[in-house]
């Protein structure tokens, strides 16, 4: 694993918030079979392992992420209970169900491009930001074990209400369990789909001169009444 590959996989504020939410409810992680879609560096899986998850499964489209994640989990003593797969979204785990599914998907509304040394597959969610979010939500019901739940990062400017509608259509409830502000670098903001930027500025995007921040949430999706 080379330096540039590891740099490209460095964890973000989104990952930090997801780990914070998981740490806040450690008893709900212990003994669970966990899956991360878009596992990247695998640091979220490592955190789940340290919180006592029974098994760790990760899926990522990039071979470098699978290689780096496999190394990290082995190094931290989770080699025997973890497996990482290279593949697209749900395909590598077809027919399988998990107690806890986590995701920090690429869902920034922009066309694929390389930014800050990251691969185009890291952040881009296509013009509306939902290219991966929607298939993730549609596939969730057949991959959640009974009583299972999902935790995912959700940009405020990508439409939490739309995600809630999809969850409800599948008999699931969506609740926000943590909200924070993330810094939006100018190079990223400059590439944001213009219609999203104009609709969200002053609402979920907050500009102070040359500096911008955006609302970001950790949402939990589970059968109604399952929420902690």
CB nearer to ligand SAM: give 65 or 137.
Answer: 65
Q: DSSP string of 16-69? A: HHHHHHHHTTGGGTTT-EEEEES-TT-HHHHHHHHTT-SEEEEEES-HHHHHHH
Tell me phi and psi for residue 127, to 5 degrees.
-55, -40
Q: How far is the CB of 41 from ligand SAM (least distance, A)?
A: 3
Q: Which residues are CB-contacts of 64 (< 8 A; sequence separation ≥ 6)?
A: 1, 5, 8, 9
CA–CA distances in Å: residue 225 to residues 54, 55, 88, 175: 24, 25, 31, 11
CB nearer to ligand SAM: give 59 or 172.
Answer: 59
CB nearer to ligand SAM: give 86 or 97.
Answer: 86
Q: How far is the CB of 37 from ligand SAM (least distance, A)?
A: 6
**C-beta separation of 8 from 122 below 8 A:** yes
**According to DSSP H, which parts of 90-159 are helical?**
133-139
Q: How far is the CB of 57 from ligand SAM (least distance, A)?
A: 12
Q: Which residues are CB-contacts of 87 (< 8 A; sequence separation ≥ 6)?
A: 59, 61
Q: How far is the CB of 89 from ligand SAM (least distance, A)?
A: 4
Q: How far is the CB of 85 from ligand SAM (least distance, A)?
A: 9
CB nearer to ligand SAM: give 59 or 218.
Answer: 59
CB nearer to ligand SAM: give 9 or 174.
Answer: 9
Binding site for ligand SAM (CB under 6 A): 9, 11, 15, 37-41, 43-44, 59-62, 65, 88-89, 104, 106, 121-122, 132
């Amino acid at each position: 694993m080379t330096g540039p590959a590891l740099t490209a996989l460095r964890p973000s504020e989104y990952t930090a918030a997801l780990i914070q939410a998981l740490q806040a409810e450690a008893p709900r992680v212990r003994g669970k079979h966990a899956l991360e879609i878009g596992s990247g560096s695998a640091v979220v899986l490592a955190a789940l392992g340290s919180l006592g998850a029974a098994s760790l499964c990760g899926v990522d489209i990039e071979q470098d992420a699978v290689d780096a994640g496999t190394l990290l989990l082995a190094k931290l003593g989770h080699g025997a209970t973890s497996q990482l797969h290279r593949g697209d979204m749900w395909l590598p785990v077809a027919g399988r169900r998990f107690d806890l599914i986590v995701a920090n998907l690429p869902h920034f509304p922009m066309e694929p491009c390389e930014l800050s040394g990251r691969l185009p597959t890291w952040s881009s969610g296509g013009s509306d930001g939902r290219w991966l979010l929607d298939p993730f939500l549609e596939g969730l019901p057949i991959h959640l074990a009974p009583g299972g739940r999902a935790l995912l990062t959700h940009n405020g400017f990508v439409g939490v209400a739309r995600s809630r509608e999809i969850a409800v259509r599948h008999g699931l409830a969506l609740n926000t369990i943590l909200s924070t502000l993330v810094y939006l670098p100018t190079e990223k903001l400059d590439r944001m789909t213009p219609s999203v930027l104009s609709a969200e500025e002053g609402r979920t995007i907050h500009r102070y001169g040359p500096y911008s921040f955006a609302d970001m949430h950790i949402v939990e999706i589970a059968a109604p009444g399952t929420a902690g």
